[in-house]
């Protein structure tokens, strides 16, 4: 049983000091002590320690690891689970740049929810709300991994959230129809120098795959008979092909007859390659991310949609910036499906979102039915004014 006793002493200078010492035996039979300035803090710790010892989850300060050490274990867990290389890189950056500098020296046994809240507040002062949210989630994942290892009794970061206004939420803004048409026409004009561009743009615009998925499409996953494309893999930033990041990423997307015809024509012309890629890069390898970016910038320059930066390169030529990214064509596909009355659940599946809330946050503002809205307004008016 834990006890709390007052301890008094005099310093070498003769000053009288007082503290409250908690003494208890942990679940391993080892006697532990911890000292507090205030009796109420000591009593609170006594209750906490007794409960943790009872359930076998107590970790004394003297044997507790720090957040920095727990972060290293978290990353090794991710490596052991063979998570995507990009995900592991993101974990390393979150730990190194945002978690460890601010709270890395704190022992897990001394970490409390108020300290996590203070950590979040410190992040807000120097980081964006989006990055603050990511760093707090990373700390929660670090503590969850430490709990799994028996290194800490509870995840005190689990209940800490970073409030973001509705203005901070990602709401997709698809390119206007006239810009989409200009991109298609420009892609057709570039077919001699970039023969895959017309069908690549159409596939991105009409089926809505992510750029990583577009780079990893193989012919066996495109059923030109039934008019479906199967998303079963993606190419990461290092051009390695692997499964989608989440189960929701594996999906089947229907395509229309015009896209089927374009893909049939491209299949007859596309260069053979060892991976059977629909859009192979140089020497049959996976197209690189920066190559995709360069291709899309050239397309926008051809379509007169690129942005003049006002700068000139070494040869005096205009330096252009892209107005759109490949992801904007994904938004175009989603907005077109919505305009045709596709229900939310089907939209979530086709676009590959993990949950319907993400679909609503991203595309909910596009779901409008002006005719139905007018009918409802007229009906309610008639009922109330009759």
Predicted pLDDT of residue 308? 95
Predicted pLDDT of residue 380? 80
CATH 1.10.150.130 location in the chain = 67-168
Predicted pLDDT of residue 165? 56
Predicted pLDDT of residue 26? 84
Give the CA distances from residue 187 to residues 11, 190, 195, 196, 295, in Å, rounded to whole numbers and listed in that order: 82, 5, 9, 9, 10
CATH 1.10.443.10 location in the chain = 177-335
Q: Mapping DSSP to helix (H, G, I), strand (E, B) and coil, where does residue 280 land?
A: strand
Predicted pLDDT of residue 110? 87
Task: Give every strand in the sheet of 251-254, ordered side by side.
Answer: 222-223, 228-231, 251-254
pLDDT means per 10 residues in the chain (386 residues)? Answer: 88 89 86 90 87 77 88 96 89 96 93 94 92 95 93 90 65 94 97 96 97 97 96 94 91 97 96 96 94 96 96 94 96 95 94 93 85 76 79
Predicted pLDDT of residue 351? 97
| Strands in the chain per DSSP E | 3-10, 16-25, 31-36, 222-223, 228-231, 234-235, 241-242, 251-254, 307-312, 318-321
Predicted pLDDT of residue 50? 86
Architecture category of domain 177-335 in CATH: Orthogonal Bundle (1.10)
Q: What is this structure's pTM?
A: 0.72
Backbone angles phi and psi of 73, in degrees to 5: -65, -40
Q: The domain 67-168: what is its CATH number? A: 1.10.150.130
Q: Which of 117, 87, 84, 91 is nearest to 102 (CA)?
A: 117
Q: How far does CA 383 lie from the centroid of its chain?
A: 47
Q: Give CA–CA dist 374/386, Å, rounded.
A: 18
Predicted pLDDT of residue 275? 95
């Amino acid at each position: 049983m834990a006890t709390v006793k007052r301890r008094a002493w005099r310093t070498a200078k003769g000053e009288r000091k007082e503290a409250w010492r908690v003494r208890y035996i942990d679940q391993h039979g080892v006697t532990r002590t911890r000292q507090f300035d205030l009796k109420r803090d000591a009593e609170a710790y006594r209750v906490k320690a007794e409960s943790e010892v009872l359930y076998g989850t107590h970790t004394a300060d003297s044997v507790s690891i720090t957040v920095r050490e727990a972060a290293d274990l978290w990353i090794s867990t991710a490596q052991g689970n063979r998570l995507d290389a990009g995900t592991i890189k993101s974990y390393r950056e979150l730990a190194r740049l945002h978690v460890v500098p601010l709270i890395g020296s704190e022992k897990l046994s001394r970490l409390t929810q108020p300290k996590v809240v203070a950590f979040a507040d410190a992040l807000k002062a120097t980081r964006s709300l989006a990055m603050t949210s990511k760093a707090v989630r990373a700390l929660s994942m670090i503590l969850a991994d430490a709990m799994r290892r028996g290194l800490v009794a509870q995840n005190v970061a689990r209940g800490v959230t970073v409030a973001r206004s509705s203005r901070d939420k990602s709401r997709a803004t698809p390119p206007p129809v006239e810009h989409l048409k200009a991109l298609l026409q420009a892609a057709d004009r570039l077919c001699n120098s970039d023969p895959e561009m017309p069908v690549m743009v159409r596939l991105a615009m009409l089926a809505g795959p992510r750029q990583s998925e577009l780079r990893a499409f193989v012919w066996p996953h495109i059923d030109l008979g039934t008019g479906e494309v199967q998303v079963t893999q993606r190419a990461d930033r290092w051009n390695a092909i692997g499964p989608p990041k989440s189960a929701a990423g594996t999906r089947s997307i229907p395509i229309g007859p015009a896209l089927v015809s374009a893909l049939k024509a491209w299949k007859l012309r596309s260069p053979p390659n060892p991976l059977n890629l629909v859009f192979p890069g140089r020497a049959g390898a996976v197209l690189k991310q920066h190559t995709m970016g360069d291709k899309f910038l050239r397309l926008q320059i051809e379509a007169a949609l690129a942005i003049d930066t006002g700068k000139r390169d070494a040869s005096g030529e205009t330096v252009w910036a892209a107005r759109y990214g490949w992801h904007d064509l994904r938004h175009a596909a989603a907005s077109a499906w919505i305009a045709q009355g596709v229900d939310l659940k089907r939209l979530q599946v086709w676009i590959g979102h993990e949950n319907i809330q993400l679909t609503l946050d991203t595309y909910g503002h596009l779901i409008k039915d002006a005719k139905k809205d007018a009918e409802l307004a007229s009906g309610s008016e008639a009922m109330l004014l009759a």
